[in-house]
Homo-oligomer: A and B are copies of this chain.
Amino acid sequence: MTAPQNLTRAACAARDAADPLAPLREQFDLPAGVNYLDGNSLGVLPRATAARVQDVVTQEWGQGLIRSWNSAGWIDLPRRVGDKIGRLVGAAPGELVVADSTSVNLFKVLSAAARIAQANDPARRVIVSERSNFPTDLYIAESVAAQHGMVLELHEIDAIPARLAQAADVAVLMLTQVNYRSGRMADMATVTAQAHAAGALMLWDLAHSAGAVPVDLNGANADFAVGCGYKYLNGGPGAPAFCWAHPRHADRFWQPLSGWMGHAAPFVFEPGYRPAPGMQRYLCGTPQVIGMSALECGVNTVLAAEPLGGMAALRAKSVALSELFIALVRQELAHSGLSIHTPLDPAQRGSQVSLGVPADGSVDGYAVMQALIARGVIGDYRAGDGTAAEPHLLRFGFTPLYTRFVDVFDAIQTLADVLASGEWREARFMAKAAVT
């Protein structure tokens, strides 16, 4: 079969050559021989990070010691890095702080949301979320619901508007904007408006949004948000996370993780808790200095796109990459049995495409991904229940800062090879399938 003009490797290389964002890739240290399409799980290493971390360790800590809390600005890290992330998600300076993990931050803001909802209307006792939301969000919500005498209700995403309209009992709608399995993206302004029309508060998890797609928390009039530092923000494994509250909520109540860094005067060492004004009260323990410093380097790689059009330009490239991927799947893998499990409308898609393996079990998705990784193409595998509705998935993430059009082309070629050759059936790939 002859490929259409724009679906050849040469055409992809030409697009890379003409791409004004292409120089951003120089910000990263990418391993040789690896085609990395898993930045939606763990972003790659920025070139600046190793030197910065080394400086924090050997100079700021090693030489400055305790003095560096002030002299090196350690104490300001949660807010300084938070303000930088704020520029990517439509939060004003001082509105967003970096701290803890996504799960811990979700506990803080969901607890606050639950209390606010209860204060507004005690009859609202339901937290609604998506059945296939990332599990840690559901686990935390289960806990917060139990603590507040609420219930957590899970629905398919398309059933949520009807559920909101059904009764005035929903306290909080909690969604991850881009679903980790399907890559489906919600329209933040529309869904937030639906939640508000139903009298519910709106909490967004931006794990797969921040640094990947344009987000405007204030513009959408959202209530709360959390997000992850180690995916599209390139902060490193287990990087600190972030949280945001709309200013109308930030000063209300105090969140339950009332550690000293959220106190109005942490270094006065008074025995009673007085929450700091604004978002500062969402801090808890001592800042993770090394991790936050690495995260700052990662966030800087995204901010480096600002002179080139910023998130809008990154988004345009991301859509072009995923459109190319989908077109190549259709061209090269039409008879593979793999299905496209991500919305075909780019407006409903984040920065990843997930391929479903056949429900008949003829392809072992785990083994296919292992065989791809052995060939240097790194995506990841997420098991489903194996049905056509919730298939086992091969996930491929596109990070426009460093993913090239030729990377997309090469990944599809390799995937086609792996399927055609049947090499995924080799014992070394199959053997571990049971571990997943």
Contacts and interface: CB of A to CB of B under 8 A. Distances in A.
B67 A237 contact: no
B38 A263 contact: no
24 contacts: A42-B66, A50-B62, A53-B290, A66-B380, A68-B237, A100-B101, A100-B285, A101-B286, A102-B286, A103-B259, A104-B284, A107-B257, A135-B263, A135-B269, A138-B271, A139-B259, A140-B258, A143-B256, A238-B289, A240-B288, A268-B383, A269-B383, A288-B288, A290-B294
Among A31, A136, A140, A144, residue most surrounded by chain B Cβ atoms (within 10 Å): A136
A359 interface: no
A230 B50 CA distance: 21
Interface in A117-145: 131-136, 138-140, 142-144
Nearest to A287: B238
A6 interface: no
Contact of A290 (B58, B74, B236): B236
A210 to B, nearest CB: 15
Copies of chain A in the complex: 2
Given A50-B54, A101-B285, 20 more contacts: A29-B62, A36-B65, A42-B65, A44-B62, A53-B53, A61-B236, A61-B237, A65-B378, A67-B378, A103-B257, A133-B271, A136-B259, A138-B271, A139-B273, A147-B147, A236-B290, A238-B290, A267-B436, A290-B291, A290-B294
A182 interface: no
